[in-house]
Structure formats: structure tokens, C-alpha cells
Amino acid sequence: MVDGPDGVWPAGDPEFVYRLFDEMPLMVIGMEGPRHRIRALTGMYRRYIGRDDVIGVPLLEVFPELTGQRASAVFDRVLATGRSESVRDFRIHYDHPEAGEPVEIFLDFDTTARLGPDGEPAGVVVHVQDVTARVRERQAVQAQAAEAQRRYERARDVVGALQRELLPAGLPVLPGAEVAASYLLADEETAAGGDWFDVVPLPGGPVALVVGDVVGHGVRASAAMGQLRAVLQDRLAESGDVRAAFAAVDRMARRVPGARAATVCVVLLDPGDGTLTWCSAGHPPPLVAGSGGARFLPVSGDGPLGAGASYRVMRDRLEPDEVVLLYSDGIIERPGREPAAATAELSLVVGDVVAGRGFHGDTRSSAVEKACTQTLELLVRQSGHADDITLLAAQRRRGVPRLRLRTTAEAAVRGCRTAVQDWVSALEAGDDDRMSLVHAAVELVTNAYQHARPDAAHTTVTVTADLDESGEARLSVADDGRWRERARPGDDDFRRDHGLGLSMTAGFVDDLTVDRRDDGTTVTVRRRLSRPARLLTADRIGAGMSRPVAEKVADLLLILDQPHAPASRIAVHGPLDSDTAHQLRAELDRHTLGGTHELVVDLTAVTHLASAGVAELHRTNPGTDGELRYPLRLFAPAGSTAQHVLSLVGLPHLTRDPHLG
């Protein structure tokens, strides 16, 4: 028996059960058989779907738009297994009779099997809840959070870009000192910190090493850091007077709120005699390490900038086998380390890596590079780090001898390429500098050869290169031939190089001058050399941190057919210059069937691309002027030698392999 509204009704009274079921404040539907024929549904469900004529009709006939949306698959499984299932936030599109168009809703399903007389599942009963409002609210919150994240990431990217612009783009390559630096970001949330470093070559040969730290993170810290760095760099470059430079930045820190309490350390190294002149403002003292161990230099200042502290300029000496290391306090204030213990640990680790007792497999890195990379890995991988870490190291070194090569114009190209490459590699300059100077030298020698014909075998070419105390390389190519005006359209020389030689050279260097005289021509180029500083994140520590070996440019040109490619294709390996351009022309003629068929040219492995090679590749469109033109698709991936040159001369090319989709 159950209680009814008018008294006691017999259990199972059909009228009462019907009224009770129909008035339930729930959306419930009962279905029967494999086609899920609707046998009962509450009034709330009928009002929800806007229909009353569904009893006895299979589910997919009532809602044919559900076909393909996999809604009935849940009911199929429950009917087959007898096990209940629940589905949350199920998205459905259906045609509501009052809406006039498909409606997107989100439903929760709680589905239970209904057993037949034989105890086997005969149908399913489904409790349905419309959770569209809840899902929409959650989606709105998620959208707001995503938009906030996008705005944060854009702001962080701007701040990070600002900081990268404020830090040096690279470290100068100097004749008497080798310098290395690493900058380790704390984490993504504080990607723009106040740490900075600088290396400033000074008149007469000394070099100023600077590491500083502004309080805080973000735009304000980066802006203050940029102002302090600019003032300090300007005063040091102007006079080399450490005391005057400190006085200037101290005055500035008193005026600029974001710069107050910043710390900084400046060390002047004279590579000639090893004299160290340094001063610090509230900053950890420099560390000197060599074969005899490691030692901290005395503290020379008693407070940060803008605090009214006094600063003393002190002196010491750096032996040829020693490294001086400047660092920010992030390497000391590591999680779980007391400052005193962390300071002693830093001294021990730097002493070991400079003496070669760090990672024994790293035989290519110099002592200063080890001090800036192995030190980070050995210390940070155990404790982690909570703040940005900056390391800047320097060591005296013997200067690389001046390059001088004298040969005939006819034989100069190959010998020049090898000689200049070896000279730049000995300086340990960056890859861009090596590629640019080698290209410039080969172009100038090729130019001298072109001018010397038909007397190239008797014309002498002299190539010289040296590096001044500021880190600027000066390369000259002189010949004793007679100056010839640039080739004009229709001349053989124009067809050979299109007059690209000098214009390409100018694009590779900072300055180009031509001195034409009766007894010969001298072309001189200048380029300031640098090597990259390592800007690292925690996941990159220890991954490929040693310096890669610079590969020598091979003299042999190989042009290989690629028969397994989906279309006609060749790959070029080695140098494309005046010595080898004729080989390329012959292969292009052959593979394009005289310029009548398209050809993909893979330039990934091109080690040198001179104007003579560019001239051959430039013939990429069918012409009617009688000159053979090749229908070529040039592939030069980003970062390759060919991509750099083709971008410089504006020759269309693909940076994505056309046969990889």
C-alpha cells in the first residue's frame, strides 16, 4: 500500500501510478526493445521536447537528427549488458519545433536497464537533465580564463622581448680575451627579471665586465635595468673610469624609483698584463678560479646603488690560466641552501670545472664556457632555483695571428675560402660571422678574378684579415690588376654573375670600401664579431650546452639525383661558387631537359652560395630573350646557408620541403 492524495490507494493502482509518474518534476523516458521504442515519458519531458505524439515511436524516428551523434549508443550498451551508465555534459543538436532551427544543448544521462519477465534486459529507463546553463556558465568562465591567459602571455612575451632587447645581442670576440655568459630564467611566471650583464671593450685594449641585478620583475624592473645598463655602458666606453661610472649610476638610482637598491659589479680586465680593476655595489664579489683553486675577491662596496653607500675601486691580477667569474645572487640563493654553504659550493664547483674536473666528456668547450654552463648544471640540477641566474666569465688568451694569403687570381677562390674559414674559426666567432666573412672573402676574390681575365694566371691577389681591440674584423682583398667597369646586360660577365658580387658582399658586412688605383684595386670590409650568450630555461640546462664543432666547408660539389622523390628533384651538396657553378648549369640543363620540365632543387646541404651560384639559380622563369631559363623550385630550409643568401638577394624559395606536404 502507498499513500495517495485522497487516502489509501491499493498498491499498483494504474491511475495513481500514471498520475504520479506524469507529475514527477523529472525528465524520465522509458524505452523498449533494440529500436528503443518510447513506452512512457513524464509530462516534464513532453513539455521539454514540445511534443505529445511520441508514444510507441522508436527514438531515432522521433529525433532523426540524433543519427550520427552517438546518443543512442549509450542506450544500446545498457540494453545489451544490463549495466547502468551515466554520461555527463553530452552535447546534442536537435530540431526543436518551437525554435525553427537546430538547437545545441548539453544533457546528463543516467541510464538503467529495465528487466523483462525472463529477467533479461527488455528496455531502458533514462533520467535526463538539461545542464546547458551550467555548461554555458563554465564555458564562459573558461573563455574568460583563456582570454586572461592569452593577455598574460602577450604581456609576458612583450616583457620578455623587451628584456631580450635590453640585454646584449652577443658577446664581443676580442683578440686578447675570451668571454662567455649564461642567463638562466627563473620560470615562466617571472620571465622578465632584473638581472643584466654587459661586456664593453674599452680604448687601449681593456674590457669591462658587468653583472647587475634590479629588485623585482616585470616591465618596471626591465626598464630600470635598461637605464642603468645604458648609463654604465656609456660612461665606461667614454673614459674607462670605474669610479666615475659608479658615481653616475648611483646618482641615477637615487632619481629612478625602480633602480633604487639595485646591485652591480664591474670588473676591468687588461688582457695584456692581467690587471683586474673592480668595484661592486651590494653585489656578490667576483670569483677567480684556476689550476691552483678558487678565491673570492674582496668586497669593495658596503651597499646597493642609491643607498648612500661608499664604493672602493680595488685591484688584483688574473693569471693566464685563471678565469674571473661574475654572477648574480640567484646562484647563491637557491632553495634549501644557506647562503654561506651555497657560496662555498659555488667556489668548489667553479674551481673543479675550470680545472677540467667537471664533465670529462666535454673536450670542446673552453674554460670560460665551462664556468658558465657546467656550473649551472652541477648546482641547479640538485637544488633548483628561485630567481634568475646570470654568469659572466672571462679569461686572457693569446691573440689569433693576422691572416695573410698571397696567390694568383686564378687559384685564389678555393684557397681563400679555406684560409678565412680557419681564421674565423680560430677566433671562435659565431656561425653567422663565419659564414658572412667567408662569403664576403670569396665574393671579393671572385670579383678580382673576373677583373683579371684573361690575365688571371699572372694577376696576384692578396687576402689579409685582422681583429682590432674592439672586436671588429677587417678583411681586405687586393689585386694588382686593372679595374674594369661592371658588366652590362649582354656581356658574358653579366650573364655569369648579374653584378651580384659586390652587392652581396655589402649585405654580409657592416662596411665596404673600394680603393681603385693605377697599380690595382683593394676592397676592404669590416664586421663586428660576436658569439652568442646562452639564454636558458630550466629544461634546457645540460641539453646541448657545449659548443658545436664548426664544420669546414668542403671543396667538392656533389649534385645528387633523388629518384625516390615524387617529382624530378636533385640535392646539392658543397660549395656553389665560380669554381663549381658550371657543374650546376650542366645538371640543370640535363634534369630540366633543356629548360622544359620543372625541377625541385634541394639546397639544404649547400655549404657556400656565391654570386656565381646565385646567377645560375636565378634563371627560374621561362624567357623569350634567347637565354636559357630553368623552371626551378628552390628549397632552402630556415637557418641554412642557402636560405640566408637567397633572402639577402631576394630570390624566391621555399623554406618547407615541397614533398613533405
Question: pLDDT band at residue 546, thresholds of 50, 70 and 90?
Answer: very low
Contact 186, 384 (CB under 8 A): no
Is pLDDT of 282 > 70?
Answer: yes
Question: pLDDT band at residue 115, thresholds of 50, 70 and 90?
Answer: very high
pLDDT of residue 582: 86
Give 339 or 1, the one with higher predicted confidence: 339
Q: In whole angstroms, what separates CA 20 from the centre of its chain? A: 68
550 DSSP assignment: P
Contact 574, 587 (CB under 8 A): no
User: Residue 368's closest CA among 233, 192, 187, 174?
Assistant: 174
The CA angle 410-416-422, to the nearest 5 degrees, is 160
pTM above 0.75? Answer: no
Q: In which residue are the cell numbers 664581443 written?
A: 172
Is pLDDT of 572 > 90?
Answer: yes
pLDDT of residue 639: 82
Helix, strand, coil content of the chain in percent (nearest 5): 35, 30, 35
Residue pLDDT, tens place only, 309-354: 788 999 999 999 999 999 999 999 888 888 899 999 999 999 999 9
pLDDT of residue 399: 84
Residue pLDDT, tens place only, 218-261: 667 777 888 898 999 999 998 889 999 999 999 999 988 888 88
Residue pLDDT, tens place only, 170-210: 899 999 999 999 988 775 444 455 788 999 999 888 999 99
pLDDT of residue 498: 44
Say which residues have a Cβ less than 8 Å from residue 389's Cβ, sequence separation at least 6.
182, 183, 184, 195, 327, 328, 330, 331, 376, 380
Give me the mean pLDDT over the 130-157 stretch: 80
Is pLDDT of 625 > 60?
Answer: no
Give me the mean pLDDT over the 636-649 stretch: 87
Question: pLDDT band at residue 624, thresholds of 50, 70 and 90?
Answer: very low
pLDDT of residue 207: 96
Residue pLDDT, tens place only, 425-442: 999 888 889 989 999 998
Domain 554-649 in CATH: superfamily? STAS domain (3.30.750.24)
Contact 212, 225 (CB under 8 A): yes
Give me the mean pLDDT over the 467-473 stretch: 93
Residue pLDDT, tens place only, 16-45: 777 888 888 899 999 999 999 999 998 898
Q: What is the 3-state secondary structure (H, E, C) of 463-506?
A: EEEEECCCCEEEEEEEECCCCCCCCCCCCHHHHHHCCHHHHHHH
**Which helix (DSSP H) or strand (DSSP E) does residue 570 occupy?**
strand 569-576
CATH class of the domain comprising 2-130: alpha beta
Give me the mean pLDDT over the 648-661 stretch: 86
Is pLDDT of 521 > 80?
Answer: yes
CA gap 338, 103 in Å, rounded: 63
Helices 500-508 and 431-452 pack at an angle, to 10 degrees, of: 160
Is pLDDT of 468 > 90?
Answer: yes
Say which residues have a Cβ less than 8 Å from residue 524's Cβ, sequence separation at least 6.
474, 475, 476, 512, 513, 515
Q: Is 533 helix (H, G, I), strand (E, B) or coil?
A: coil
Give 152 or 467, the one with higher predicted confidence: 467
Q: What is the 3-state secondary structure (H, E, C) of 161-196?
A: HHHHHHCCCCEECCCCEEEEEEEECCCHHHCCEEEE
**Which strands make up the sheet holding 534-536, listed edge to edge?**
293-296, 287-290, 323-327, 389-396, 177-184, 534-536
CA gap 175, 272 in Å, rounded: 10
- What does the domain layout of the chain look like in residue ranges? 2-130, 168-396, 403-531, 554-649
Give me the mean pLDDT over the 551-579 stretch: 81
Give 397 or 225, the one with higher predicted confidence: 397
What are the residues facing 516 on neighbouring strands? 521
Say which residues have a Cβ less than 8 Å from residue 422's Cβ, sequence separation at least 6.
552
Q: Does the domain made of 403-531 have the CATH classification 2.40.10.10?
A: no
β pairing state of 293-296 and 389-396: unpaired
User: Residue 325's closest CA among 345, 305, 346?
Assistant: 346
Give me the mean pLDDT over the 466-493 stretch: 75
Is pLDDT of 621 > 60?
Answer: no
CA gap 387, 187 in Å, rounded: 8
CATH class of the domain comprising 168-396: alpha beta
The CA angle 622-625-627, to the nearest 5 degrees, is 70
β pairing state of 534-536 and 177-184: parallel
